[in-house]
Amino acid sequence: MLAHITATHAVMGAGRMGLAMIRRWLDAGLPPARLMAIEIGEANRSRLQALGIQTFSAADQLPSVPDMLWLAIKPQQFHAQIEAIHHAIRGRGILICSIMAGIPLAKLQALGAQHHYARVMPNTPVATGQGVCGLFAPELKAAQSDLLTQMLSPLGMIYPCRKEDDLHAITAISGSGPAYVYMFMHALKEAALRLGIDPSQAADLVRATLAGSLTLAEQTGQDFLSLADAVTSPAGTTEAARNVLDNALIELVAKAAIANAQRSRELAE
Ligand SMILES: NC(=O)c1ccc[n+]([C@@H]2O[C@H](COP(=O)([O-])OP(=O)(O)OC[C@H]3O[C@@H](n4cnc5c(N)ncnc54)[C@H](OP(=O)(O)O)[C@@H]3O)[C@@H](O)[C@H]2O)c1
């Protein structure tokens, strides 16, 4: 899928997310020679070297200017790195793609007006190729947009944002969403234990229930409420559970997602 890519990429910050993206790109056929990584952590540098990738411990050590720079350090690390990044990308205009939460384009543009910028909000399932990437890239040339789409495709679904502000909602839904899903799985497992399910089987039971429900939702394409209704008969067992869950769950999840988006806005200020 990516074997034909000739553009060179530097990833700054190969931690959990940066490394997951790099691994997907390599799995999708990107030649390791197209990648450079800037990573402070020695253990992560060793992992990258084992994958055949040239690594550097600081941005100003890059031997050549990449065609594309991926910023995957923590948002709070960005401001202290502006000078070093400047040095790394020198004068040439390149494509800079940030996955940092809460650093708006206006702040990224401190790296220079000659560059083009994109913001991507991934989630942890990108490690499996089944992630979601919110994308805001308003001013790219067609070739840059094409390159970005090719690089994001092996990570999962791409959700294009019409305005930068939409990235807060994307953070609250797909960015943090896996955490809500795992919390629900944990809650279902705890309930299973309280009902006397064998502790050695409880996690498998929950995983299989979620996997089967997701496959059914995908295969039928039905809306989620209809799928829930299909399990619910009048005065039956599911109805007894839904009498407890229905409104409470919808309100709770909405409240959580709104708190998430609000925090995302605060961090961007
Ligand atoms: N994780 C998610 O679900 C998620 C989702 C969407 C967006 N993001 C964004 O992705 C970015 C990375 O998140 P993460 O969870 O992958 O964090 P992480 O695991 O801490 O990765 C950041 C990596 O950058 C390294 N680093 C720090 N300063 C550096 C420098 N000056 N030069 C080169 N490398 C440096 C860190 O090393 P040390 O650990 O040694 O400091 C670490 O290995 C964040 O901006 C976050 O907002 C994450």
Output Rg (C-alpha) for the chain, integer angstroms: 22
Locate tokens 């999840």: which residue?
253
For 37, residues 6+ apart whose C-beta sits below 8 A from its C-beta are 10, 11, 12, 14, 18, 22, 45, 48, 53, 54, 55, 56
Cα of 60 vs its chain's centroid, Å: 27
CB neighbours (10 Å) of residue 56?
18
* 147 plus 257 within the same structural domain: no
Q: Supply the pTM of this predicted model.
A: 0.94
Q: Which of the four pLDDT bands, split at 50, 70 and 90, describes residue 269?
A: confident
Domain CATH code at residue 214 = 1.10.3730.10
Q: Is the CB of 101 under 6 A from ligand 1?
A: yes
Contact 161, 134 (CB under 8 A): yes
Residue 202 domain-assigned (yes or no): yes
Indicate whether 59 belongs to any domain: yes
- Give the distance (Å) from ligand 1 centre to CA of residue 18: 7
Q: Is 176 in the pocket of ligand 1 (CB under 6 A)?
A: no
pLDDT above 90: percentage of residues in the chain = 95
pLDDT tens for 1-37 read: 899 999 999 999 999 999 999 999 999 999 999 999 9
Q: Is 178 in the pocket of ligand 1 (CB under 6 A)?
A: no
Return the best residue to mutate from 60, 73, 77 for the ligand 1 pocket (most ligand atoms within 8 A of CB): 73
Distance 225 CA to ligand 1 centre (A): 37
**Other CB atoms closer than 10 Å to residue 142's CB: what's the count?**
7
User: Using CA of residue 21, residue 26, residue 28, residue 31, what is the dihedral sign?
Assistant: positive
What is d(CA 220, CA 230) in angstroms, rounded to the nearest whole number?
12
Domain that holds residue 19: 9-162
Helices and strands (DSSP H and E) totals, the chain: 10, 8
Same domain assignment for residues 147 and 222? no
With cut-offs at 50, 70 and 90, classify the pLDDT of residue 116. Answer: very high
CA of 37 to the centre of ligand 1 (A): 12
